[in-house]
Amino acid sequence: MNLHEFQAKELLDRFGIPVPRGRIAASAIEAGSVARRLGLERCVVKAQVLAGDRAAHGGVRFAAGPEEAARSASELIGRPLVTTQTGPAGQTVHWVYVEEEVAHARALYCAVIVDRTTGGLALITRDLDGADPGRALVAHDAGTMTGLTLSESGVLGDFEGAAASLGLAPSHTALLAKRLAQLAEAAVALDAIQVEISPLVLTHDGDLVALDAKLIIDDNALFRHPEFGALRELSEPEGDDLAELAAQRHQINYLRLDGDIGVVVNGAGLALATLDLLHDAGGRPANFMDIRTTATSLDIAYAFELISANPRVRAVLVNVHGGGMQRCDTIADGIGIAVRRKGCAVPVVVRLAGNNADFASSRLKSYGVPIIETADMWEAARTSAELTTRKAA
């Protein structure tokens, strides 16, 4: 779950990391009112979209007082903001965050991420002075990486060493080490796969304040955080992203692609192998799909209907290996329910193996699903590619 800046700051504040005074606004009038209530002579008006690189594309504006804040908000709210991270259509701005402008002497980058090479957490720090202020910084940019470990007493790491590498004065170095420890504590407590502050600034009075924040929470850990339900409603994306979010709620990992072969697969590894085989066969997948073991037949029906609703899809490839937690017939029933409810106008190429594979095949036929059975994964991929190529010709 990707959170907006204002949501991320609210959570970081709970762990003792200072953030500028600010409030969210959904209209120009509200933006002016926020600046007036907070007594902000100079403020920053920030578009709240789930993408970075906002400053370089007009999504972050400085204002001298409430009137300018209202004017900046009116130019942002209700309009799409296009950045290097949004795609060409951009994202519609529904809110702006109005916060005080903070003068500072140094700008730093710090983040805690899941290090995919080790499977553990890593702390990344970098000096931002001299960096291009308009370019979005990403976690793999050059910087110092420090491994973190978890123990019964909390998260452990060389926070003092990471802080010292940035060359601050001793008193500021000690405070930075404290901020880095707070950031790591927040990442663990919130089940974050990425939490970053860019920039963390050293103010003229010697404090370290988070001017911007990004927080991504592991979807698989949301059951431990029921309080995030309200945050998720405010963070819901649009279009294809909304479909991906809805699929998550149905125990489906789904990502729409630009091809014409719908893909129904259980297991992330098997799904990636299926996409590779389709490419090798000359086909173009319309989506990535990983049906979780916790998905019911009704969840799978929703997933199949999601694929069928894509006007680009000309064939569907079902590649399923039944296991002890999820049998082939559970997926077959889901597909059958979807076809009974919405129909299916394209051929369905099926490769079934594992637990209850034969029974699943008979279930699909009894539902009236127009299946083409294949013996193995390669034949299924090749057949799907041939069907779409023939239709395109």
Query: Is 137 inside a domain boundary?
Result: yes
| Residues 381, 253 share a domain | yes
Query: Is 231 inside a domain boundary?
Result: no
| Residues 191, 249 share a domain | no
| Residues 246, 386 share a domain | yes
Q: Which of 55, 81, 100 is the last residue of a domain?
A: 100
Q: How many domains does the chain have?
A: 3
Q: Beta strand 208-210 with 96-100: parallel, antiparallel or unpaired? A: unpaired
Report the CATH number at residue 172: 3.30.470.20
| Residues 270, 179 share a domain | no
Query: Is 52 inside a domain boundary?
Result: yes
Can you list the pairs that 354-357 forms with residues at least 24 positions away whose Cβ atoms lie under 8 Å?
A: 354/320, 354/321, 354/322, 354/323, 354/327, 354/328, 355/322, 355/323, 355/324, 355/327, 355/328, 356/322, 356/327, 356/328, 356/329, 357/320, 357/322, 357/328
- State which residues form the domain around 166: 104-224
| Residues 190, 131 share a domain | yes
| Residues 360, 282 share a domain | yes
Q: Which residue has the tokens 């319309």?
A: 286
Catalytic positions are 109, 196
Query: Is 4 inside a domain boundary?
Result: no
Report the CATH number at residue 74: 3.30.1490.20
Q: How far apart are CA 101 and CA 392, in angstroms?
A: 56
Q: How far apart are CA 387 and CA 164, in angstroms?
A: 61
Please tell me the predicted confidence (pLDDT) of residue 129: 80
Predicted TM-score (pTM) of the model is 0.65
| Residues 69, 43 share a domain | yes
| Residues 283, 139 share a domain | no
Query: Is 312 inside a domain boundary?
Result: yes
Q: Which residue has the tokens 């809110």?
A: 95
Please tell me the predicted confidence (pLDDT) of residue 242: 59
| Residues 168, 59 share a domain | no
Query: Is 245 inside a domain boundary?
Result: yes
| Residues 327, 260 share a domain | yes
| Residues 308, 338 share a domain | yes
Query: Is 71 inside a domain boundary?
Result: yes
Number of H helices, E strands in the chain: 12, 19
| Residues 216, 328 share a domain | no
Query: Is 34 inside a domain boundary?
Result: yes
Report the CATH number at residue 370: 3.40.50.261
Reading the chain (393 residues) residue by residue, the pLDDT tens digits are 889 999 999 999 999 999 999 999 999 999 999 999 999 999 999 999 998 999 999 999 999 999 999 999 999 999 999 999 888 989 999 999 999 999 999 999 999 999 888 889 999 999 998 555 444 444 445 578 999 998 888 899 999 999 999 999 999 999 999 999 999 999 999 999 999 999 999 999 999 999 999 999 998 888 888 777 666 655 555 555 557 767 877 889 899 999 999 999 998 899 999 999 999 999 999 999 999 988 999 999 999 999 998 999 999 999 999 987 789 999 999 999 999 998 999 999 999 999 999 999 999 999 999 899 999 999 999 999 999 987 655
